[in-house]
């Protein structure tokens, strides 16, 4: 008989391994923002993640094999976090989450641009992005195309457009 | 300035709207098991969901527009739950969760069969399944193909195979 809270269903096991909402938020920030240290993740958090929650989720994600940690060569006591192959393979899941959010919630324009590009690009774009993440996190060869820069440029253009609009309106 | 825990990111808003692990477990059971009442969801839960958690998540999912509730014609005080269009559009997300779980966790064989079929079938199969869910939950016309029955038949064959193996080994 299955015990409370456990089953061999792959959807359930995925949810158990990912943990709660904050775990995926941390993975998102490492993946799309290339924030690799505790300090960068804390300082730039859009959702203002609490420091104890961030420290706990980094520990859990490292223990469950979604992140790896190596010491920062400049400050030995600090860590640099990398996505593992398992975490990189969450790209399609996060792309679908973003696409669903664009359709069924009311996201801000600036923060939707990357989700919309990922949705439009579909599996070929996700594969290219995963190859680049393997370069950034797993020392794989550098691919020619940088999806990371394409997403980042689109995001920055949207931020610029929004702040221009605000200046004009203000 | 964003307040703690809030942002306009579509991935974050999706995670906020879906809530915790149990919410997606309930959606999964309604979607793939066609369990439409509190009683059926409680009695057949693979994870042994607690009755108070189930009641709470049904209430929340209905309030947030992922489920709708109508009175059971046979027992007016009981409810029949249906997926909304927004919940039906979670099929690709759940398909990716199942596929990721098959690759990166150790699911049971019986409970992996449907996830593997959904992964192999890809977007065309997901679309066909979503059309059938619109028939089952939203009174749309009945499609010719029943993905639900294909998944169910594959699952039952896997259960039968597993129990035959157990009898032979026992």
Examine the domain organization and report whether A97 and A169 are in the same domain: yes
Examine the domain organization and report whether B96 and B153 are in the same domain: yes
Examine the domain organization and report whether A95 and A72 are in the same domain: no
Q: Do A110 and A159 form a contact (C-beta atoms < 8 A)?
A: yes
Examine the domain organization and report whether A149 and A98 are in the same domain: yes
A42 touching chain B per CB within 8 A: no
3-state helix, strand, coil in chain B (%, to 5): 65, 5, 30
Tell me the pLDDT tens digit for each residue of B110-135. 999 999 999 999 999 999 999 999 99
On the CB side of A170, how many CA atoms lie within 13 Å of its CA?
6
B-contacting residues of A 97-156, CB under 8 Å? Answer: 97-108, 110-112, 115
Q: What is the pLDDT of residue B3?
A: 43
Q: Greater confidence, A5 or A155?
A: A155
In a domain, B1, yes or no: no
Q: What is the pLDDT of residue B5?
A: 61
Examine the domain organization and report whether B37 and B62 are in the same domain: yes
Q: Do B128 and B149 form a contact (C-beta atoms < 8 A)?
A: no
Contact A93 B97 (CB under 8 A): yes
- B61, B84, B107: which is the final residue of a domain? B84
Reply yes or no on whether the pLDDT at B70 is more than 50: yes
Tell me the pLDDT tens digit for each residue of A36-80. 999 999 999 999 999 999 999 999 999 999 999 999 888 888 899
Distance from CA of A164 to the nearest CA of B (A): 17
Tell me the pLDDT tens digit for each residue of A103-141. 999 999 999 999 999 999 999 999 999 999 999 999 999
Q: What is the pLDDT of residue B167?
A: 87
CB count within 10 Å of CB B27 equals: 23
Reply yes or no on whether the pLDDT at B1 is more than 50: no
Examine the domain organization and report whether B109 and B50 are in the same domain: no
DSSP track, A6-68: ----HHHHHHHHH-SHHHHHHHHHHHHH---SHHHHHHT-TT---HHHHHHHHHHHHHTTSEE
Examine the domain organization and report whether A99 and A113 are in the same domain: yes
- For residue B149, the enclosing domain spans 89-170
DSSP track, B14-59: HHHHH-SHHHHHHHHHHHHH---SHHHHHHT-TT---HHHHHHHHH
Mutation to test the B interface, candidates A5, A7, A9, A52, most B Cβ within 10 Å: A9
In a domain, B17, yes or no: yes
Calculated CA dihedral for residues A61, A117, A138, B96, nearest 10 degrees: 50
In a domain, B128, yes or no: yes
What is the reported pTM?
0.92
CA of A23: which chain B residue's CA is closest?
Answer: B15
Residue A82, H or E segment: strand A79-83
Mean pLDDT of B48-73: 95
Q: b/e per residue, A142-167, with b = 16+ CB within 10 A?
A: ebeebbbebbeeebeebeeeeeeeee
Number of domains within chain A = 2
Reply yes or no on whether the pLDDT at B77 is more than 90: no
Examine the domain organization and report whether B94 and B75 are in the same domain: no
Examine the domain organization and report whether B39 and B102 are in the same domain: no
Examine the domain organization and report whether B103 and B70 are in the same domain: no
Examine the domain organization and report whether A42 and A98 are in the same domain: no
Q: What is the pLDDT of residue A4?
A: 54
Q: What are phi and psi of B73, to 5 degrees?
A: -60, -30
């Amino acid at each position: 008989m299955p015990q409370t809270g456990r089953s061999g269903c792959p959807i359930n096991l995925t949810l158990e391994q990912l943990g709660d909402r904050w775990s995926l938020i941390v993975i998102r920030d490492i993946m799309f923002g290339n924030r690799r240290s505790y300090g960068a993740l804390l300082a730039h958090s859009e959702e203002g993640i609490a420091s104890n929650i961030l420290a706990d989720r980094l520990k859990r994600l490292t223990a469950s094999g979604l992140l790896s940690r190596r010491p920062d060569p400049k400050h030995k006591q600090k860590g640099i976090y990398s996505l593992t192959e398992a975490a990189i393979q969450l790209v399609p899941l996060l792309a679908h989450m973003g696409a669903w959010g664009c359709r069924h919630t009311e996201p801000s324009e600036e923060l939707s641009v990357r989700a919309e590009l990922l949705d439009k690009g579909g599996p070929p774009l996700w594969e290219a992005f995963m190859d680049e993440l393997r370069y950034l996190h797993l020392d794989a060869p550098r691919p020619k195309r940088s999806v990371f820069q394409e997403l980042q440029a689109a995001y920055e253009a949207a931020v610029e457009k929004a702040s221009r609009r605000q200046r004009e309106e203000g």
